[in-house]
């Protein structure tokens, strides 16, 4: 069954998302939408501890580097900050394993490309940092972990084919329960073919389709991905901030309702 996950940037937005049919909330720090979402403060999670739907907490110490360097490649200090955040939230009493709560993060590393590996050879590609991701997944246990849209940076980093299958295997090997992805650089609507391949090959991974998902295109996305989902296969969610030009970082109730209506409340 396809359901909607809504990232929120203040506890107040939870009510709007819930009122129109959201099935899960991704919690981010207030003011961090332009950076793609950052680790929330504990004070932003505490008011939601009795939420009737699952909470997923963003674990991301910073957004894209201002110098244009690769995103999701973190220093030792930033990695320790991520570890500390997971430890604090696990012991805070605000999360419930039985509700389906968990964490969202993704760590990459640069890997030198061999000569002749596409794009002229040489240089570096972005790959899943298996060791660091595995360490955080183990630290987060028993809470679920979803690999962030760092997955899209891997798909767009110029690795030789077959990038999708290799990236899926790398994420699964770290112990993640799911992946948040638009199918590569750009929006989900631009990457239906790649998303279809992800869905066909995701095995037990939950696939959260995000990146430009709106009420105006969710029916097209749903229809385009329908054939890629085998019976009993990948669990599929749509992910949308449900923001509008007038709503700022506050969830727009009508947009939530429009997406839920467009999904039809049935399997993709």
Q: Write the class of the CATH domain 4-112+123-263.
A: alpha beta
Quote the pTM value: 0.92
Q: Which pLDDT score is estimated for 162?
A: 47
Phi then psi dihedrals of residue 24, to 5 deg: -160, 150
Distance, in Å, from the CA atom of 218 to the CA atom of 212, rounded to the nearest integer, reads: 9
Each domain of the chain, given as residue ranges in start order, spans: 4-112+123-263
Which one, of 259, 261, 262, 268, lies nearest residue 5 by Cα? 259
Angle at the Cα of 265 from the Cα atoms of 259 and 268, rounded to 5 degrees: 90
Spatial distance between the Cα atoms of 149 and 12, rounded to a whole number of angstroms: 25
Residue 170 structure tokens:
């790398």
DSSP class of residue 60?
-
Per residue of the chain (268 residues), give pLDDT as tens: 689 999 999 999 999 999 999 999 999 999 999 999 999 999 999 999 999 999 999 999 999 999 988 999 999 999 999 999 999 999 999 999 999 999 999 999 998 766 555 555 556 789 999 999 999 999 999 999 999 999 999 998 865 544 899 999 999 999 999 999 999 999 999 999 999 999 999 988 999 999 999 999 999 999 999 888 766 666 899 999 999 877 789 999 999 999 999 998 543 4
Contact 143, 137 (CB under 8 A): no
Inter-residue contact 193 to 161 (CB < 8 Å): no
- Name the residue among 139, 142, 148, 185 with its Cα closest to residue 5: 148
pLDDT of res. 235: 86
């Amino acid at each position: 069954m396809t359901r909607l996950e809504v990232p929120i940037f203040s506890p107040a937005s939870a009510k709007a998302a819930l009122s129109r049919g959201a099935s899960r909330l991704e919690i981010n720090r207030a003011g961090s939408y332009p950076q793609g979402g950052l680790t929330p403060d504990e004070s932003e999670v505490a008011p939601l501890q009795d939420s009737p739907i699952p909470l997923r907490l963003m674990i991301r110490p910073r957004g894209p580097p201002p110098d244009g360097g690769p995103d999701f490649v973190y220093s030792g200090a930033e990695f320790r900050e991520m570890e500390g955040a997971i430890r604090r939230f696990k012991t805070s009493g605000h999360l419930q394993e039985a509700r389906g709560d968990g964490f969202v993060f993704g760590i990459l590393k640069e890997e030198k490309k061999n000569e002749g590996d596409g794009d002229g050879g040489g240089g570096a590609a972005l790959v899943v940092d298996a060791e660091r991701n595995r360490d955080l997944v183990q630290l987060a246990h028993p809470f679920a972990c979803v690999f962030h849209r760092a997955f899209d940076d891997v798909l767009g980093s110029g690795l030789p084919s077959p990038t999708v299958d290799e990236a899926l295997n790398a994420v699964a090997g770290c112990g993640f329960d799911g992946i948040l992805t638009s199918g590569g650089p750009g929006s989900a609507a631009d990457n239906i073919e790649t998303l279809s391949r992800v869905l066909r090959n995701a095995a037990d991974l939950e696939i959260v389709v995000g990146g430009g998902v709106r009420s105006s295109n969710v029916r097209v996305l749903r229809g385009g991905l329908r054939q890629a989902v085998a019976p009993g296969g990948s669990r599929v969610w749509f992910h949308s901030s449900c923001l509008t030009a007038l709503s700022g970082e506050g969830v727009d109730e009508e947009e939530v309702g429009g997406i839920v209506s467009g999904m039809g409340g049935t399997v993709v």
